[in-house]
């Protein structure tokens, strides 16, 4: 009676068996589409440098690249400045930017529009933010002469919740 080969724990497998085991593993990995093990960790791609995007107002659409001095719609790392002008931005989609400087300009968000400012927002001069969408900023400073107007459908958890008022009310610049 022949006995099957038995190996004690810690015993070495014959090299032919190891070779065959490796071939089987390679076949299974290829068959299942499992990516090979990565070598040393690759460096993360560098983030694109932030741009200063100034509103030029060729049209009223925030999403129109022709309206921005940076040549693209502002992205999450960009600093945005909106001054006074004939055509002011209308935001009807979600947007995230680093900072906002609204200096004499108007920014209107409708029900589907939302603006997230990950840093600070400055609202100065005769500026207005009309918010019928959603507005969120790490901090917002409103100086004399500027207004924040919350429409009737403003979210109940707006960042300025203690200052938001119904549409018919306007917040005084001292808020």
CA pair distance 25, 38, nearest whole angstrom: 16
Model confidence over 122-168: pLDDT tens digits?
Answer: 888 888 888 788 888 888 777 766 666 655 444 433 344 334 333 33
Local structure of residue 91 (DSSP, 8 states): E
Residues of the chain with pLDDT under 70: 1-14, 17-18, 22, 29, 31, 33-49, 144-175
Q: What local confidence, expressed as pLDDT, does residue 173 receive?
A: 43
Q: What local confidence, expressed as pLDDT, does residue 155 receive?
A: 41
Helix (H) or strand (E) holding 18: helix 15-32
Long-range own/partner contacts, residues 87-94 (CB < 8 A, 24 or more apart): 87/57, 87/58, 87/59, 87/60, 88/55, 88/57, 88/60, 89/55, 89/57, 89/60, 89/61, 89/62, 90/60, 90/61, 90/62, 91/62, 91/115, 91/133, 92/61, 92/62, 92/63, 92/133, 93/62, 93/63
pTM: predicted TM-score of the whole model, two decimal places = 0.59
Q: What local confidence, expressed as pLDDT, does residue 171 receive?
A: 43
Q: What local confidence, expressed as pLDDT, does residue 175 receive?
A: 41
Q: What local confidence, expressed as pLDDT, does residue 79 receive?
A: 96
Residues in the chain: 175
Q: What local confidence, expressed as pLDDT, does residue 64 receive?
A: 94
* DSSP bridge partners of 68: 55
Task: Give the three-class secondary structure for 107.
Answer: strand
């Amino acid at each position: 009676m022949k006995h099957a080969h038995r190996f004690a724990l810690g015993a070495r497998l014959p090299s032919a068996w190891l070779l065959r085991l490796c071939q089987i593993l390679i076949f299974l990995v290829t068959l299942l589409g499992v990516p090979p093990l990565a070598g040393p960790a690759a460096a993360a791609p560098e983030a694109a440098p932030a741009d200063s995007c100034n509103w030029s107002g060729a049209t009223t659409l925030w999403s129109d690249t022709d309206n921005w001095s940076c040549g693209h719609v502002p992205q999450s790392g960009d600093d945005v400045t909106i001054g006074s002008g004939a055509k002011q931005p209308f935001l009807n989609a979600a947007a995230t930017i680093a900072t906002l400087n609204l200096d004499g300009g108007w920014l209107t968000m409708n029900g589907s529009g939302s603006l997230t400012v990950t840093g600070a927002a400055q609202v100065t001069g005769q500026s207005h933010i009309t918010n019928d969408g959603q507005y969120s900023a790490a901090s917002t400073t409103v100086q004399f002469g500027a207004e924040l107007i919350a429409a009737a459908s403003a979210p109940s958890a707006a960042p300025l919740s203690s200052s938001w008022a119904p549409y018919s009310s306007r917040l005084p610049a001292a808020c």
